[in-house]
Amino acid sequence: DICRLPRQGKMYDMVVDSYCLQGIVLDGDRARVFSNVRARMMAEGYYLVSTAMLDERRFCKEDTVFDRASGILYNHYGENGIIDAKTGVVHVELAKQPADCEDAISIEGKWYLPNRRHLKAPALKAELEAAGFSVLYQSGDYGENVVCVHACSGTRLR
């Protein structure tokens, strides 16, 4: 579990995240992942991220769900999801109330579970920089491929 990776141990020149980050949904979990990666990266190491991003073709601007309890306006996203466009958190609809999931939410009698985070490229870059990385390179159709280093390392792409 990348969220529980021990902060002590072997150091790495390169940490590769191949579509894991999209499944790390909650802010606290993402902060732990970034902290753990920084702790295990060598001072001049690289953090390579490839992650799913917000796809405007799956986003329905006109089809919304308002959660009165939180004040959040969700948009339908994909086949059975809703997304908070501000945070990029995608929730999938559940058939019934879950028995043991504290992160599930109820909106207008339907239950949803957060299961992905799909950001836009500038938001991903900002999140990584706020977590202590410098983004050296970002590419892909949606900006889904990122090369990072420790913010204070001064490392450049070779």
Residues 102-145 have pLDDT tens digits of 899 999 889 999 999 999 999 999 999 999 999 999 999 999 99
H/E segment holding residue 32: helix 27-40
The structural domains of the chain, ordered by start, are 2-53+120-150 (3.40.50.150), 56-117 (no CATH)
Rounded to two decimals, the pTM is 0.90
> Which region, left, alpha or beta, applies to residue 136 given φ > 0 means left and ψ of -120 to 50 means alpha?
alpha
Give the β-pairing of 12-18 and 41-50: parallel
pLDDT tens sequence across 1-17 = 777 888 889 999 999 99
- Residue type at position 131: A
